[in-house]
């Protein structure tokens, strides 16, 4: 496994910040996570990112803006979401990122079937801008409200509705799985879910993992990440990491860190040690 983190600094500094914390894979935002406005990136910054990334040889994931909702009933939000995702994927392709990780959104009470009617044409536009190197990865959700992707059933339904697109994959988050009711600390439960995923989507479509402890209980649907070993998953996160079919994947931390400023070298160290204990 290649252990890394969501790193601050965007296009200009994320790789350097990742290197400083010993990250073997880097996830970043290519715009401010707090605003719809997409920046005009300097081509020189994009070229420098590609050069540094090639030298470092680390997998790179771009995380889409959290505001994006490709199932939004509101036309204005829907249009902003599609435009933002098009710009995000275009930038990720220029950076030669391995994938863009996407939260599919929420139907906001309209129902899953209605959401699919909105979601599918939007995601199709995004997939058209991906390429053989830069995929789109659907991330499972914690399951609050009308969020889409709360279960493998929903992810598989979206995957099928999109014609099993050749550049569409999955990113699984340990915290989201746990709080949506999947006990990733139980080896048989975790193995069964991966077997189901293999049959319905394909294990080769699982391209990345988010390794996060959880502040909230199993099945609570509350998306609250905790530092490694400090939450309710605890040492059981080793089960999530130890499955033999997942050992080639990049693993990204999205934890608060000791100071609330996000992942750091100590959190990556704890993750590596947990993996080592679980696989020894």
19/97 Cα distance (integer angstroms): 17
Q: What pLDDT is stored for residue 204 in this prediction? A: 97
Q: What is the mean pLDDT of residues 210-226?
A: 97
184/38 Cα distance (integer angstroms): 36
- Give a yes or no: residue 85 inside a domain: yes
Q: What pLDDT is stored for residue 12 in this prediction? A: 97
Two structure tokens written together for 100: 């863009």
Q: Read off the pLDDT of residues 64-74 as tens digits, 9 standing for 90 and up.
A: 999 999 999 99
Structural domain range at position 65: 2-172+184-209+248-255
CATH number of domain containing 135:
3.20.20.150
In eight-state DSSP terms, residue 270 is: H
Q: What percentage of the chain exceeds 70 in pLDDT?
A: 100
267/261 Cα distance (integer angstroms): 12
75/87 Cα distance (integer angstroms): 18
Mean pLDDT taken over the chain: 96
- Give a yes or no: residue 268 inside a domain: no
- Give a yes or no: residue 238 inside a domain: no
- Give a yes or no: residue 71 inside a domain: yes
The band of 145, judged by pLDDT with boundaries at 50, 70 and 90, is: confident
The band of 9, judged by pLDDT with boundaries at 50, 70 and 90, is: very high
237 with 211: CB under 8 angstroms? yes
62 with 88: CB under 8 angstroms? yes
- Give a yes or no: residue 94 inside a domain: yes
Identify the sign of the CA torsion 249, 255, 258, 260.
Answer: positive
The band of 39, judged by pLDDT with boundaries at 50, 70 and 90, is: very high
- Domain count of the chain? 1
- Give a yes or no: residue 150 inside a domain: yes
Q: Read off the pLDDT of residues 162-203 as tens digits, 9 standing for 90 and up.
A: 999 999 999 999 999 999 999 999 999 999 999 999 999 999
Per-state percent for the chain, helix, strand, coil, to nearest 5? 45, 15, 40
Q: What pLDDT is stored for residue 110 in this prediction? A: 84
Q: What pLDDT is stored for residue 258 in this prediction? A: 87
- Give a yes or no: residue 243 inside a domain: no
- Give a yes or no: residue 216 inside a domain: no
């Amino acid at each position: 496994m290649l252990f890394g983190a969501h790193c601050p600094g965007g296009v200009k500094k994320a790789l350097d910040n990742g290197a400083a914390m010993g990250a073997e894979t880097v996830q970043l935002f290519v715009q401010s996570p707090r605003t719809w406005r997409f920046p005009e990136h300097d081509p020189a910054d994009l070229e420098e990112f590609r050069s540094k990334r090639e030298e470092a040889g680390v997998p790179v994931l771009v995380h889409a803006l959290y505001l994006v909702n490709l199932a939004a009933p509101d036309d204005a939000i829907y249009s902003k979401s599609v435009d933002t995702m098009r710009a995000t994927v275009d930038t990720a392709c220029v950076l030669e990122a391995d994938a863009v990780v996407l939260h599919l959104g929420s139907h906001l009470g309209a129902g899953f079937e209605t959401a699919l009617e909105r979601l599918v044409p939007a995601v199709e536009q995004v997939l058209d801008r991906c390429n053989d190197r830069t995929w789109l990865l659907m991330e499972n959700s914690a399951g609050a409200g009308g969020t889409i992707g709360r279960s493998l059933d929903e992810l598989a339904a979206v995957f099928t509705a999109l014609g099993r697109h050749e550049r569409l994959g999955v990113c699984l988050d340990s915290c989201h799985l746990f709080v949506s009711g999947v006990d990733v600390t139980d080896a048989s439960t975790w193995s069964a879910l991966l077997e189901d995923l293999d049959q319905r989507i394909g294990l080769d479509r699982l391209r990345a993992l988010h390794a996060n402890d959880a502040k909230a209980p199993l099945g609570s649907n509350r998306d609250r990440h905790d530092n490694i070993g400090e939450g309710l998953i605890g040492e059981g996160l080793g089960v999530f990491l130890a499955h033999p079919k997942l050992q080639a994947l990049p693993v990204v931390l999205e934890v608060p860190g000791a100071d609330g400023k996000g992942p750091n070298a100590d959190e990556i160290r704890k993750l590596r040690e947990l993996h080592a204990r679980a696989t020894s």
